[in-house]
Amino acid sequence: MFIGGRPVTTAEPRPVELPFDGSEVGTVYQATKEQVDAAIAAAAAAALLMGEMTLDERSTILRKSYQRLMDDRDEMALAVSSETGKPLKEARLEVDRAALTLLFSAEEAHRLHGEVVPMDASPAGKGRWAMTVREPLGVIAAITPFNFPLNLAMHKIGPALAGGNAVVHKPASTTPISAIRMAHLFTECGLPAGALNVVTGPGGAIGDQLVFDKRVAMVTFTGSPEVGLRIRNLAGLKRVTLELGSNSAVIVEEDANLDEAVARSVAGSFAHSGQVCISVQRIFVHRKIRNEFLERCVEGARKLAIGHPHSPQTDISSLITAGEAERVAGWIQEAVDAGARVATGGHRLHRATIEPTILTEVPATASLSCREAFGPVVGVNVYDSLDEAIARVNDSEYGLQAGIYTRDIQKAFYAARRVHVGGFLINEVPQYRVDQMPYGGVKLSGAGREGPKYAIEEMTEPKLVCWKV
Ligand code: NAP
């Protein structure tokens, strides 16, 4: 762990395993109650320092951290690949994106400002002049998931530090390595001791303490809806942002550019073995092009290279645990029992690896339709009218992102207005994200937006200063 600017261990080490083969790649320690308390205390003390820093001082630390992360790119990518089991080429992309997230946060620090309030627009405001100043919240608890352990953590830590806060970060138990490395990296780039603390241990054991503690002003969480709802219910009046799951859908109209729709649907369904919150899980394709689209997607899925995550050729490695692979295999079986057909894949290969799998006509009631698969499985379903496709996309408890492929701008915007999601992509799969865009969901997919410009607003308070002239 990393508390008050120092590495900390306990008497309870546990191995961190490479999910692909179970080999040991690191050690994680379970924080005691006292250590979590010490991390919050260190953050509370450092928050005072952070709040006093100029915007330029915060921005400079973030800019240096961006540069250091780029300098350490290969080493960090290996760490991310080892803890998550994601193919090395995807881990490199994650490092590049995480560095950019820090750069965008550094830029937002320079832009952080309040506004002048037109007080005399009310009769009672005559003679009053007012402005808002954006003040830090203080201590922010950042709880992050396993699938993008580096970039999703930077989406919280970057804007929090830019806004003048201090952070206690709890990474997923399976993926603590990059988090600890980043704490060292930030310190080497001039971040004051205590401004970023990392505590590890099961969320079920230390999560409540972080959420309940009065010194913590905000909880920013990315993970499953179950845990997100629990945090929301426990947090009381604390500020809470939740980035949760989805079962993202894309519509492929009969006039779509098929080359692009096929290539991006395959990539969007199987990257990181489908363990992406916006992974393509439900495809609705117009009846007229269904057969050609399906055949070409099957061909694309069969070309993906399955193997060790550190091999440069590998496209598909493994899920995070054998238990997760067992769950996904069970959901495939459940869908098949309910009438879905396997177009390709469908098998668990070994330990935590599942073949890239395409099913057709998955019943709307099957788990693979209505819950979040978080595995390399996509359902291709046929429709006859755009209204039908939109209704089926909206028939979900989730609403993170969705997309449509069409060359008809009227249809594209017709769908954009009617699909209920946080982000809608035209001629792109919903799995697309760049890190400066506003990103977040509706319904069970969460509350609040990330992207440094948007997160920094959630992580600062607009204080009104009013002057009677
Ligand atoms: P998870 O099981 O909800 O865990 C996320 C984090 O919460 C981990 O650090 C976990 O710690 C911690 N946690 C567990 N129980 C807790 C509790 N009672 N109180 C506080 N924290 C607790 O999710 P995951 O399996 O790591 O990640 C997959 C999920 O994240 C999917 O649903 C995915 O869609 C979602 N996700 C959403 C986004 C987005 O931006 N919308 C991005 C990526 C992922 P432990 O690891 O120690 O259990």
| 116 pLDDT above the threshold of 90 | yes
* Within a domain: 313: yes
pLDDT digits (tens, 9 = 90+) for 204-254: 999 999 999 999 999 999 999 999 999 999 999 999 999 999 999 999 999
Same domain, 80 and 194: yes
Ligand 1 site, residue 230, Cβ cutoff 6 A: yes
- Is any ligand 1 atom within 6 A of the Cβ of residue 379? no
Q: Based on the domain organization, do 63 and 123 belong to the same domain?
A: yes
Domain total of the chain: 2
Indicate whether 225 and 281 sit together in one domain: no
Q: Give the residue numbers annotated as catalytic, written as ranges.
A: 243, 277
Q: 0.95 exceeded by the pTM? A: yes
User: By alpha-carbon position, which residue is closest to atom 30 of ligand 1?
Assistant: 223
Same domain, yes or no: 351 and 452: no
Pocket test residue of 200, 244, 374 for ligand 1, highest count of atoms within 8 A of CB: 244
- Nearest-10 Cα torsion for 309, 313, 315, 319: -20
Structural domain containing residue 196: 2-244+445-468
In a domain, 91, yes or no: yes
Instruction: Supply the CATH number for residue 88's domain.
Output: 3.40.605.10
pLDDT of 12 over the 90 cut: no
Q: Does residue 162 sit in the same domain as residue 144?
A: yes
Shared-domain flag, residues 63 and 110 = yes
- Is there a domain that residue 54 lies in? yes
For residue 272, pLDDT over 90 is answered with: yes
Residues 164 and 31 in one domain: yes
Are 286 and 398 members of one domain?
Answer: yes
CB atoms within 10 A of CB 224: 16
Confirm whether 440 is domain-assigned. no
405 and 263, same structural domain?
yes
Domain assignment of residue 178, yes or no? yes
What is the distance in A from the centroid of ligand 1 to the CA of 207? 11
Provide the CATH number for the domain around residue 323.
3.40.309.10
Q: 176: which 2 tokens?
A: 């603590």
| 229 and 370 belong to one structural domain | no
Number of other residues whose CB lies within 10 A of the CB of residue 7: 11
- pLDDT tens digits for 385-429? 999 999 999 999 999 999 999 999 999 999 999 999 999 999 999
Whether residue 93 sits in one domain with residue 53: yes
| C-alpha of residue 58 to centroid of ligand 1, in Å | 28
**What's the pLDDT tens digit per position in 27-40?**
999 999 999 999 99
294 and 418 fall within a common domain: yes
Residue 350 has pLDDT above 90, yes or no: no
Q: What is the mean pLDDT of residues 255-266?
A: 98
The verdict on residue 84 lying in a domain is: yes
Which atom of ligand 1 lies nearest, measured to the CA of 175?
A: 46
Q: Is 203 in the pocket of ligand 1 (CB under 6 A)?
A: yes
| Arithmetic mean of pLDDT over the chain | 97
| pLDDT tops 90 at residue 152 | yes
Q: How far is the CA of 429 from the centre of ligand 1 (A)?
A: 23
